[in-house]
Amino acid sequence: MAGEGPEESVRVHMVGLYYRGQRREDLEREYVETYHAIDECVARFRRQPYGRLVRIPDLYSRDELKTSEAFNEFYSRTTSQNGLIVRLEGPVGYSHFTWAMCDPIGRGGVWSSSQIEMIRRVAPHVRQLVFVRQALADAGALGSSLAELRRRAAALILIVDPWLPLSVSVDHLAAVLGLTRAESEVASWLAEGKTVGEIAAATGRQKRSIYWHLEQIYAKLGVRRQVDLVRVVLAAAECV
């Protein structure tokens, strides 16, 4: 589940519920339309730090475990009453997204330490998958063939190794695009795949400061989306 908008007014943007390997759109609709608004764990979950793996029942009080309609009806039918859930930072424009897992198979619904460690290790890769898919969706490239992508440079620039730095200096980026050094740093890091939270941590700034820089960058470059900014940055990198 992906949440869109600022923290104080998050809207459900996308839900994907898979049960025994099959997507269940009927259950997705049922949860969003019937249970999400009354699910007691939602508000507590949104206060969890990014990356913290939590047992679903730990998000309910003792009384709520007995009375909650969401927990006793929906989570029971989807075998999720002993599931795990983690809040991950979403792409720009999204407050967060949720990765939830149903009960473990066997072991009486008890998670082993090796299973928990595996999920912790996989979580960053799940986050990166969501980032890439959202960027492709923004570019209208999901489901496109390789030939179609070759005809659309805007989609191709998204298929980069996020851990490799761009071959352009911040000073060069500032000179070519007319940005301040701080704005150039933000633009470069976003193009590398870093999140607003990661940029804030690396620079010692608040996230709202990074968002302010983004607004200035978008205004100067005449772009509105992160995918458009990445295209401009990569084009500037070629002007060495």
Q: DSSP per residue over 165-206, as a string?
A: PPSS-HHHHHHHHT--HHHHHHHHHHHHT--HHHHHHHHT--
Domain boundary assignment for the chain: 2-138, 146-237
Q: What is the pLDDT of residue 34?
A: 93
The highest-confidence range among 100-104, 136-140, 189-193, by mean pLDDT, is 100-104
CATH of 146-237, one of 1.10.10.10, 3.10.180.10, 1.10.600.10, 1.10.1380.10: 1.10.10.10
User: 192 pLDDT exceeds 90?
Assistant: no
Cβ atoms 70, 39 nearer than 8 A: yes
Cβ atoms 186, 207 nearer than 8 A: no
Cβ atoms 7, 46 nearer than 8 A: yes
- Residues 36-64 have a mean pLDDT of 92
Average pLDDT for the chain: 77
pLDDT digit string, tens, across residues 105-159:
877 778 988 889 888 888 887 777 676 666 656 555 444 444 554 454 444 444 4
Please tell me the least confidently modeled range out of 70-74, 84-88, 167-171.
Answer: 167-171
Topology adopted by domain 2-138: Beta-Lactamase (3.30.450)
Q: What is the DSSP letter of 74?
A: I
Which among 31, 83, 74, 32 is positioned nearest to 53, based on CA atoms? 83
In this prediction, residue 30 has a pLDDT band, given cuts at 50, 70 and 90, of very high
Integer-rounded Cα Rg, in Å, for the chain is 20
